[in-house]
Amino acid sequence: GKVAEPPCGIDALAAHADYVLVEADGSRCLPLKAHATWEPVIPARASLAVLVVGASGFERPIARTVHRPEVFCALTGAKLEAPATPELVARAIAAEGLVDANGLVIVNQADDDRAARQARSFAAELRRSCPASIYAGSLRTDRLQRI
């Protein structure tokens, strides 16, 4: 289930810890997500935002692979039945403005050559407007490399 903010608040918790990890929101088990206006809830004192993108969603129909597909389409101008290309996903992320130069983007599920190529296409497009650090690989196998 969901874990709520502690009664003492994130700032009080952070004063007593080296690191506090906050999962901002989920995507209903879909590999890609566009965010509603109230999402994600990032604590004001956050020093690093990590955005995880599921490579298994690349090239699949937006309507079946993106949580909040209507928001994604509004951000990109794409149709619901269009494929979620790596370039479109990068444009949606850039349009949302969730990642800045201090941010980190991880393309997860990039376990094979095809997914790795798609991750590189995604990174090339995202870098046009966002200087974040981008890694690709597999969180499950603990293999990530900077791209």
Which domain does 90 fall in, by range?
25-146
Residue pair 146/105 in contact by the 8 Å Cβ criterion: no
Residue 141 lies in a domain: yes
Give a yes or no: residue 19 inside a domain: no
Alpha carbon distance 108, 123 (integer Å): 13
- Virtual torsion, Cα 12, 35, 57, 89, nearest 10 deg: -110
Classify residue 71: in a domain, yes or no: yes
Q: Is the pLDDT of residue 137 over 80?
A: yes
pLDDT of residue 2: 61
Contact 27, 67 (CB under 8 A): yes
Q: Is 18 a member of any domain?
A: no
Residue 135 belongs to a domain: yes
Let me know if residue 47 belongs to a domain: yes
Q: Please give the model's pTM, rounded to 2 decimal places.
A: 0.88
Are 60 and 30 spatial neighbours (Cβ–Cβ below 8 Å)? no
With tokens 């928001």, the residue in question is 71
Pick the range with the lowest mean pLDDT from 1-5, 53-57, 121-125, 137-141: 1-5
Overall number of domains in the chain: 1
Whether 5 is in a domain gets the answer no
pLDDT at 60 over 90: yes
Please give the pLDDT value at position 26: 67
- Residue 6 located in a structural domain: no
When pLDDT is averaged across residues 20-48 and rounded to a whole number, the result is: 81
> What's the pLDDT score for residue 14?
82
